Amino acid sequence: MLVPSPWTTPHPSPPPAYHVGSSPPLFPPHEDLVPSVSSLADIYSASELPHQSARWAALEARFRALYDRQISFVTRTPGRVNLIGEHIDYSWFPVLPMAIPRDVLVAVAIIPAADAAADGRIILSNVQALKYPTRVFNTRDFTDPFFPIPTDKHIDWSAYFLAGLKGALTFSRLCATEATPLPTMRILVDGELPTCAGLSASSAFVCSSLLAVLATITAPVIERSFLVNSAVISERALGVNSGGMDQAASVFAIRDHALLVDFRPLVSAKPVRVLDTVPRLCFILANSLVSVSNRTETGPDRYNIRFVETTIAAEILAREYSVGRLEIRDGFGGTLRGFYDKICERQGWAMGDRESEERAVKDIVARIRKTFSKDRYSLDEVAEMLGLSTEDMMRKYTTRFPIRATHLNLRDRAQHVIEESFRCKCFSSLLASSTTNLRALSATESTPYFDALGELMNASQESCSSMFACSCPEIDNLCRIAQKYGAAGSRITGTGWGGCIISLVRADRVDQVIDGLRKEYYSVQHPEIKDISEVVFQITPSNGSVLTKGTGFQM
Ligand code: GLA
């Protein structure tokens, strides 16, 4: 099932978008800066404040105990969930993530050269010191911003900080801003995001680290767009390919809103308010506890293969239907969005309403199925379709991001991307619908609304599982249980092959869904877990990256 929901027209005056890149900003410049906040209330919602006040106070006390200094400033970046639009960002189709309250804090003390303690070292500690031991670096090791980061099979936690540091040094030089050399620094990290759960903990850490170093070496006036772009490129230093969704979601997020993140013509993020409904619309995260192992390690068997499959599918389709050369993404290859846009342009299809989009999706899926008659092609066969030798194909598509594969599935991967992009458009259109956005939905109006959103999420999960093969039995099982106990929709979120599911649930069914997951999943698969509140919890859309004001910060 492609899309079961009604289509609603977009909001007549959509909220403004943040644009990334050098296009004229739609906002006054200060709106596009990483906010410098002066109190915890600027970051967290009222219900989160008691916990966060205690946590920040503990961070401050620990910092003082460790370093015998005051914190100069803290950077904070949240994790994210993706509501819908999975594995389509690197094909340049829009996605709909939102930031979650759990985050990564990087507390910094800058020690000026005149201070007796200025020893030219950067000491990096973590509040979870046993799990993440302290690392000590010398600032002179970073004189050349192209310093290597060790990315062995088991990547050290400090590599994410170094990726941020490298990004900050590289980009501040490229922009020829008034960057000062790295001073002596003391750093303490506190992450509340579970790792390997697909909630973008590593991107949040890279973003916070990058922001911390940028704020140290330049004026603390940092464009969000600059942070997003730099963070995407920084993570690539770790051999991790990324479509850009995670960084855009974590940096641009706004409380109570999801974000429609688009990648063409530039990366942009449009806030989409999550509607008031009766009963309230809630999001529940459930961790399958199947580890989304580090993408540096598993990339060649999973993420990188999907990246290559979708890119090659786009290139072959462009040849097959003679649409001309596709715009190249990151010096790598064309995208399915490029192919989609070229076909629509050639057919004279104006996009933007449900009928036109649905016609385009059907047409393009038919072309995909005609071009790729089977679901598995050997590498030699793929090379032949591209008109390349196998060696040249491998050199072109797999040098930067290696893969381990003997066969590729071009048909199902491409079909997933095209149909998922349509589901994402329908979902965000429903969230932002003009008829509903202006008021709260009554109990009678809510049911079809929940059903429509939920069915889109379920159809997305079905496609992630069967067409894109980025789910796993545990995730499929969790989704089934959540639906059985009353979730309107449930789906995998993020990288996949494990991690978390996100469920859309009416407020009056939250307890029964959580209880169902406890009974049928956690008690069976993980009887050792006594309190499931760490693995199943409600989330609300959170604010994005911030920097605390140097003085007078209120906890
Ligand atoms: C990871 C990547 C994102 C995106 C998702 C899948 O989180 O970092 O860019 O591709 O996987 O939707």
* pLDDT, tens only, 230-255: 999 888 888 777 899 999 999 999 99
Query: Does the beta carbon of 82 sit less than 6 angstroms from any atom of ligand 1?
Result: yes
* pLDDT, tens only, 341-354: 999 999 998 877 88
| From the candidate CATH numbers 1.20.1560.10, 1.20.1440.340, 3.40.50.620, 3.20.20.10, the one assigned to the domain spanning 296-413 | 1.20.1440.340
Question: How confident is residue 12, by pLDDT bands cut at 50, 70 and 90?
Answer: very low
**Residues in Cβ contact with 239 at an 8 Å cutoff, skipping those fewer than 6 apart:** 151, 296, 299, 401
- For 49, the token pair is 């404040």
Alpha helix stretches (DSSP H) within 29-101: 49-67
**Given this model, what pLDDT does residue 1 score?**
36
Alpha helix stretches (DSSP H) within 103-200: 158-174
Question: According to the per-residue pLDDT averaged within each range, which of 150-159, 375-384, 428-437 is highest?
Answer: 375-384
Amino acid at 356: S
Query: Does the beta carbon of 245 sit less than 6 angstroms from any atom of ligand 1?
Result: yes
Mean pLDDT of all residues in the chain?
Answer: 89
Residue 453 CA: distances (Å) to CA of 275, 405, 486, 491: 12, 36, 14, 12
Contact indicator for 428, 261 with CB cutoff of 8 Å? no
**Residue among 375, 382, 262 nearest 317 (CA):** 382
* pLDDT, tens only, 34-66: 999 999 999 999 999 999 999 999 999 999 999
Span(s) in the chain for CATH 3.30.70.890: 281-294+420-539
User: CA–CA separation, 545 vs 74, rounded Å?
Assistant: 11
**Residue among 117, 88, 171, 41 nearest 415 (CA):** 88
Active site residue 246: yes
Query: Does the beta carbon of 243 sit less than 6 angstroms from any atom of ligand 1?
Result: yes
Ligand 1 pocket test target in 196, 232, 245 with most atoms within 8 Å of CB: 245
Tell me: pLDDT of 95 over 90. Answer: yes
**Given this model, what pLDDT does residue 265 score?**
84
Report how far ligand 1's centroid is from the alpha carbon of 483 (Å).
Answer: 24
- For 308, the token pair is 């290559």
User: CA–CA separation, 209 vs 420, rounded Å?
Assistant: 33
CB burial of 293-331 (b: ≥16 within 10 Å; e: otherwise) equals: ebbbebbbebbbbbbbbbbbbbbbbbeebebeebeebee
Report how far ligand 1's centroid is from the alpha carbon of 240 (Å).
Answer: 10
* pLDDT, tens only, 76-93: 999 999 999 999 999 999
* pLDDT, tens only, 264-274: 888 889 999 88
DSSP state of 374: S
Q: Whose CA is nearest to atom 6 of ligand 1?
A: 87
Query: Does the beta carbon of 246 sit less than 6 angstroms from any atom of ligand 1?
Result: yes
Report how far ligand 1's centroid is from the alpha carbon of 55 (Å).
Answer: 29
**Given this model, what pLDDT does residue 434 score?**
56
Report how far ligand 1's centroid is from the alpha carbon of 496 (Å).
Answer: 9
Query: Does the beta carbon of 87 sit less than 6 angstroms from any atom of ligand 1?
Result: yes
Range list of β-strands (E), 232-318: 257-262, 268-273, 281-287
Query: Does the beta carbon of 90 sit less than 6 angstroms from any atom of ligand 1?
Result: yes
More confident residue, 242 or 473: 473
**Given this model, what pLDDT does residue 292 score?**
84
CATH 3.20.20.540 fits 29-271, yes or no: no
Range list of β-strands (E), 69-183: 73-84, 96-111, 121-126, 135-138
Span(s) in the chain for CATH 3.30.230.10: 29-271
CATH for the stretch 281-294+420-539: 3.30.70.890
